[in-house]
Amino acid sequence: MSFATVQDLETPSVLIDLDLMEDNIAVMQGRCDDLGIHYRPHIKTHKIPDIARRQLEAGAAGIACQKVSEAEVFAAAGIRDIQIPYNILGRRKAGRLASLAKEADVTVTVDSKPVIDGIAEAAQATGATVGMMVELVSLGERTGTMPEDALRLARHIQATDNLRFAGVMIYPSNAAIRPRLLETLDLLAGAGIAVEMISGGGSGAIRDAHLLPELTELRVGTCIFWDWNSVAADYASFDQCAMRVRATVISANEPSRVILDSGSKAIHSETIDDQFGYIVEYPAARLRKVNEEHGYVDCSACSRIPSVGEIVHIIPVHTCVVTNLHNQLYGVRGEAIEVIWDVAARGLVW
């Protein structure tokens, strides 16, 4: 290993505090265990098979990922229970999904007949069986269907060769969605359709999970690292945030403005309270603007101003999108670099 300590790293570099990450894995697994449901980590947050392996060793039932190409990376690493909670559309993608389903236990979600039919055609051509859940539209109003349509789609899945009806998916899952879920389950029960899996998800889903006792599993990703969004939503504290972007002050010519070498290419451009990240060493500073390679920090509320060359650490607003920008993450314990991970599933858009 060429890097012994974080002091040897150039910036920007993404550090993962291994103690915090291990705690975060154990806490979410413990909460799901207490509820008697499966924990299915969404790997979009880390995109690294070795981290998924650690989550599975801690008790996770399988993984979720968002793209066929991501699933391929994790299947190649030996992971067998893979859920893709996404409408997969496209002939090549469906073909690759069907091929994958011959070597791993793959479940997808659907919210319309064309999506079902495209996957069925590929599955029939390869002889694979693909598990398929219907997605119930939530208050987030993204993808998904209403209960009557969910029943119609479930019947269609059951009637189609090489598909296996696997249950119902919700994102995000919270107490408010329960009436719609119960209505759907009643319709399915009335039609004699068995529901094996009811999958909830979202960063805050654990909070309401006891109010949705029908859930059989939770898909949560961000909880492995947490981020400023999580802190703002009161899911975690800054002390639990395992990802920090190590940055250098590269310019400090003004009394109240310094510039970091970390911009939208390093910490992304999502904001919270018009800020692009939380600077651990300068909590009163405002990271108020980013260009691709520059972070603009307003230090007017700071008692001390950082100087050129000084190293600071940024807790990002949204950890998942930061992972996707970087080719490596550095797993650290204190100052020691214990592991350098390639972000194996980074940038896989298909």
Contact footprint for a copy of itself (CB under 8 A)? 8, 10-13, 44, 66-67, 86-87, 89-90, 92-93, 111-112, 114-115, 118, 137, 141-146, 149, 248, 250-254, 257, 259, 261, 264-266, 268-270, 291-294, 296, 308-309, 320-321, 324-327, 346-347, 349-350
Structure letter (DSSP) for residue 304: S
Shortest separation between residue 230's beta carbon and a copy of itself, angstroms: 16
Q: Whole-angstrom Cα distance, residue 151 to residue 24?
A: 37
* Closer residue to a copy of itself in complex, CB, 58/348: 348
Nearer to a copy of itself, 211 or 350 (CB): 350
Nearest to 332 by CA among 12, 47, 11, 22: 22
> How far apart are CB 2 and a copy of itself at their closest, in Å?
10
Tokens (6 digits) for 333: 């314990």
Rounded CA gap, 92 and 96, in Å? 6
Distance, in Å, from the CA atom of 260 to the CA atom of 297, rounded to the nearest integer, reads 7
Strand-strand pairing, 336-342 and 38-41 = unpaired
Residue 58 vs 311, nearer CB to a copy of itself: 311
CA distances from 9 to 112, 258, 335, 339 (A): 48, 21, 11, 13
Q: What element of type H or E holds 28?
A: helix 18-35
C-alpha 64/C-alpha 256 separation (Å) is 44
CB of 7 to a copy of itself, least distance (A): 10
Closest CA to 18 of 342, 343, 330, 246: 330
At closest approach, how far in Å is the CB of 246 from a copy of itself?
A: 11
Least spacing, CB of residue 53 vs a copy of itself, in Å: 23
Closer by beta carbon to a copy of itself, 22 or else 293: 293
**Nearest one of 191, 132, 135, 194 to 160, comparing CA atoms:** 132
Of 43, 61, 44, the C-alpha closest to 52 is 43
Give 37 or 177: the residue with its C-beta nearer to a copy of itself.
Answer: 177
Closest distance to a copy of itself from the beta carbon of 253 (Å): 6
Q: Residue 337 Cβ, how far from a copy of itself at the closest point, in Å?
A: 14
When the beta carbons of 35 and 348 are compared against a copy of itself, the nearer one is 348
CB of 162 to a copy of itself, least distance (A): 20
Cα(186)–Cα(171) distance, integer angstroms? 20
Q: How many CA atoms lie within 13 A of 81 on its CB side?
A: 16
Instruction: Select from 66, 95, 25 the least CA-distant residue to 345.
Output: 66
Beta carbon of residue 63, minimum distance to a copy of itself (angstroms, whole number): 16
- Nearer to a copy of itself among residue 92 and residue 333 (C-beta): 92
Q: How far apart are CA 149 and CA 70, in angstroms?
A: 29
User: Which C-beta is closer to a copy of itself: that of 48 or that of 325?
Assistant: 325
Minimum CB distance to a copy of itself, residue 320 (Å)? 6
Q: Which is nearer to a copy of itself, 283 or 347 (CB)?
A: 347
Q: 24 near 224, Cβ under 8 Å?
A: yes
- The three-state secondary structure class of 321 is helix
Which is nearer to a copy of itself, 10 or 161 (by Cβ)? Answer: 10
